[in-house]
């Protein structure tokens, strides 16, 4: 299990950049879910994201302008945009770029930091709610899906939201405010190991997933960014074709 690092504030300036740039900056950043009635504080390391531009991006929810659903996309960078997809799963985005550009970064996958137990329990709760009668955390943990490696518990946008108890009630949350139920943070430099020779973390760029409806160049642009070494990343791990 990944040891918990010290948390530093996430620099707002990184989110004010154009969506693809901001998306890259979010790889390796931390999501911090404040304790709820059902779970203690949870921290997850982001390993897969997708950039969505504003009105001009044919794959973005902002392509048709402002609607009740996407209103949060037009708020300041650092705001959460949470929407329901396929009538079932909530997806978490971070609003980026200058306010009003309606750009956002979809958080597709992350790895649990620290004890994976609370993430597993939250996933089981959501799974149970969907089926109206379902497994508790212990039963779920022994199921085929619960048997996934703990590092893969937040693999995919729907599962990530479930494991972090992120729903549309968090739409519009300011992710840079210290007291928020959900916030962004940066890991403090690791001081227990000698300074690494300045090799940056490997980040691979690929085409975005599930947007076949979009026209070119938006369908093919390499705006999905992953840490290819992470077990939480599903699907293509290379930029090649």
Partner DNA sequence: GCAAAGATTTGCT
Partner DNA sequence: GCAAATCTTTGCC
Residues forming contacts to DNA in the complex (CB under 7 A) are 50, 52, 59-62, 64, 67-70, 83-89, 91, 93, 104, 106, 127, 130-131, 144-145, 155-160, 208-213, 234
Least distance in angstroms from the C-beta of 63 to DNA: 7
Return the beta strands (E) in 34-159 as ranges.
42-52, 80-85, 89-96, 103-113, 154-155
> CA-based angle 59:65:68, to the nearest 5?
105
Least distance in angstroms from the C-beta of 43 to DNA: 19
- Between 117 and 146, name the residue whose CB sits nearer to DNA: 146
**Running DSSP on this structure, what letter comes out for residue 133?**
S
Residue 10 preceded by cis peptide, ω within 30: no
- Between 194 and 212, name the residue whose CB sits nearer to DNA: 212
- Between 67 and 220, name the residue whose CB sits nearer to DNA: 67
- Between 94 and 176, name the residue whose CB sits nearer to DNA: 94
Task: State the Cα–Cα distance between residues 217 and 215, nearest whole angstrom.
Answer: 6
Least distance in angstroms from the C-beta of 186 to DNA: 22
Task: State the Cα–Cα distance between residues 135 and 127, nearest whole angstrom.
Answer: 8
Which ranges constitute the DSSP H helices of 114-153?
117-130, 137-142
Least distance in angstroms from the C-beta of 189 to DNA: 31
Least distance in angstroms from the C-beta of 10 to DNA: 19
- Between 30 and 109, name the residue whose CB sits nearer to DNA: 109
Least distance in angstroms from the C-beta of 147 to DNA: 11
- Between 106 and 221, name the residue whose CB sits nearer to DNA: 106
Name which of 15, 52, 48 is nearest 158 in CA terms. 48
Which residue(s) pair with 198 in the sheet? none
Name which of 123, 160, 152 is nearest 2 in CA terms. 152
């Amino acid at each position: 299990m990944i040891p918990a690092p010290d948390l530093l504030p996430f620099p707002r300036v990184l989110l004010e950049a154009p969506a693809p740039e901001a998306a890259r900056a979010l790889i390796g950043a931390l999501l911090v879910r404040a304790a709820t009635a059902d779970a203690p504080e949870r921290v997850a390391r982001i390993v897969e994201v997708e950039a969505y531009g504003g009105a001009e991006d044919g794959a973005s929810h902002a392509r048709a302008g402002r609607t009740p659903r996407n209103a949060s996309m037009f708020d300041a960078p650092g705001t959460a945009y949470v929407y329901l997809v396929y009538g079932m799963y909530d997806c978490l985005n971070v609003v980026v770029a200058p306010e009003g550009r309606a750009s956002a970064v979809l958080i597709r996958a992350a790895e649990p930091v620290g004890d994976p137990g609370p993430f597993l329990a939250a996933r089981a709760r959501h799974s149970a709610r969907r089926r109206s009668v379902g497994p508790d955390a212990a039963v779920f943990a022994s199921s085929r899906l619960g048997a996934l490696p703990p590092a893969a518990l937040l693999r995919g946008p729907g599962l990530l939201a479930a494991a972090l108890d992120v729903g549309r009630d968090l739409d519009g949350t300011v992710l840079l405010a210290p007291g928020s139920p959900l916030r962004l943070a940066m890991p403090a430099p690791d001081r227990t190991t000698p300074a690494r020779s300045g090799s940056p973390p490997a980040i691979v760029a690929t085409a975005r997933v599930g947007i076949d409806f979009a026209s070119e160049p938006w369908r093919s642009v390499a705006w999905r960014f992953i840490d290819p070494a992470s077990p939480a990343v599903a699907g293509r791990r290379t930029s090649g074709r």
